[in-house]
């Protein structure tokens, strides 16, 4: 049986890359009965309608290393989390929501700051504070260039031989970024809505683009992420700087909220942990704790 990767999903059809060919496929009716939905990024086994046909049928979806619900993508190596410095302004709480999601799925995040060329010196200074803070935690932060050659140079080593999802709030420049790397893509972009301060939705389906020796998934923009499936225990593990320190907490399984002799709260007092990160952790903890049960 032939094996390929789903690179596009649209209206019940799946485009599967099979060596140097693209095969338009449908999924077996059995998938619906078993509630299996093939996703972009899936490795699948398929049969062709005939040896030279460009159409076929997906017979089996191989086991995934990870998957996201929104966007619906599987087997991701890196999450390229795009945050604009201005228009819309940098949003650290939203950035941390993306980081939590990536960490919970064991996807390595890389933070991309865009639109520095549009920012005032004051806004740039504000962004530099967060760049330094996230690099101190251990995250890779890249300030993207408007020069295509420099942009390719900064991203090639991250994307090559990997599947990367590019994610971020609408209007931060995700599609513009991809078009700058490969102008032939011609992905639709839109201006920021002045009344809402966010971009109009321009990406209407999930697609895996072959770029820089790997794959990048351009995804529909969205401005919020909920933690519907995340537990308090999982949340605690997604703040990676807390994890390194928590072994010194007095109580095993400390949630770093009300427990005495908490090493994380001690580190907060000394400045070893950034106050904005701890504040976001408290907010997310409260959100999950007060989440209404789903039946």
**Other residues' Cβ atoms within 10 Å of the Cβ of residue 285:** 18
Report, at the CATH architecture level, how domain 232-289 is classified: Orthogonal Bundle (1.10)
In this predicted model, what pLDDT tens digit does every residue of 207-260 receive, in sequence order?
888 888 999 886 554 434 668 789 999 999 999 999 989 999 999 889 999 999
Check: CB of residue 166 under 8 Å from CB of residue 82.
yes
Three-class secondary structure of residue 207 per DSSP: strand
- CATH code for the domain defined by 73-218: 3.40.50.300
Environment class of 98 (CB within 10 Å of its CB; exposed 0-12, middle 13-18, buried 19+): buried
Model confidence at 16, pLDDT cuts 50, 70, 90, reads very high
Predicted structure pTM score: 0.82
pLDDT of residue 190: 45
pLDDT band, very low/low/confident/very high, at 196 (cuts 50, 70, 90): very low
What is the average pLDDT value for the chain, to the nearest integer? Answer: 84
Q: What mean pLDDT comes out for the span 177-196?
A: 58
Do the domains 232-289 and 73-218 match in fold?
no
Measured CA to CA, the distance from residue 293 to residue 276 in angstroms comes to 28
Tens of pLDDT, residues 46-75: 999 888 889 999 999 999 999 887 778 899
Domain boundaries, the chain: 2-63, 73-218, 232-289
pLDDT bin (cut points 50, 70, 90) of residue 187 is: low
- Residue 171 confidence (pLDDT) above 90: no
Q: Which residue has the higher pLDDT, 168 or 15?
A: 15
pLDDT at residue 209, as a whole number: 85
CATH-assigned architecture of domain 2-63: Beta Barrel (2.40)
Burial of 268 from C-beta contacts in 10 A (0-12 / 13-18 / 19+)? buried
């Amino acid at each position: 049986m032939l094996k390929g990767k789903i690179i596009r999903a649209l209206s019940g059809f799946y485009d599967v890359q099979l060596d140097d060919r693209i095969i338009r496929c449908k999924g077996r009716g059995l998938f619906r009965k078993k509630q299996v939905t093939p996703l972009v990024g899936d490795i699948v086994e398929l049969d062709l309608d005939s040896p030279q046909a460009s159409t076929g049928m997906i017979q089996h979806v191989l086991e995934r290393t990870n998957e996201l619900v929104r966007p619906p993508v599987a087997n991701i190596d890196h999450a390229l989390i795009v945050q604009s410095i201005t228009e819309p302004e940098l949003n650290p709480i939203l950035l941390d929501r993306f980081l939590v999601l990536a960490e919970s799925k064991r996807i390595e995040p890389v933070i991309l700051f865009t639109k520095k060329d549009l920012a005032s010196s004051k806004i740039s200074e504000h962004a530099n504070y967060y760049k330094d803070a996230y690099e101190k935690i251990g995250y890779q932060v890249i300030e993207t260039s408007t020069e295509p050659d420099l942009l390719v140079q900064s991203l090639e080593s991250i994307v090559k031989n990997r599947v990367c999802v590019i994610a971020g709030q609408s209007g931060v420049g995700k599609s513009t970024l991809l078009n700058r790397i490969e102008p032939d893509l011609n992905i639709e972009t839109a201006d920021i809505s002045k009344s809402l301060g966010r971009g109009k939705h321009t990406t209407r389906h999930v697609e895996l683009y072959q770029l820089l020796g790997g794959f990048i998934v351009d995804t529909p923009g969205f401005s919020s992420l909920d933690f519907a499936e995340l537990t308090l225990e999982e949340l605690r593990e997604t703040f990676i700087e807390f994890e390194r320190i928590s072994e010194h907490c007095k109580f095993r399984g400390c949630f770093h909220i009300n427990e005495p002799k908490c090493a994380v709260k001690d580190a907060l007092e000394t400045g070893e942990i950034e106050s904005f990160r701890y504040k976001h952790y408290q907010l997310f903890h409260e959100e999950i704790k007060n989440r209404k049960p789903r039946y």
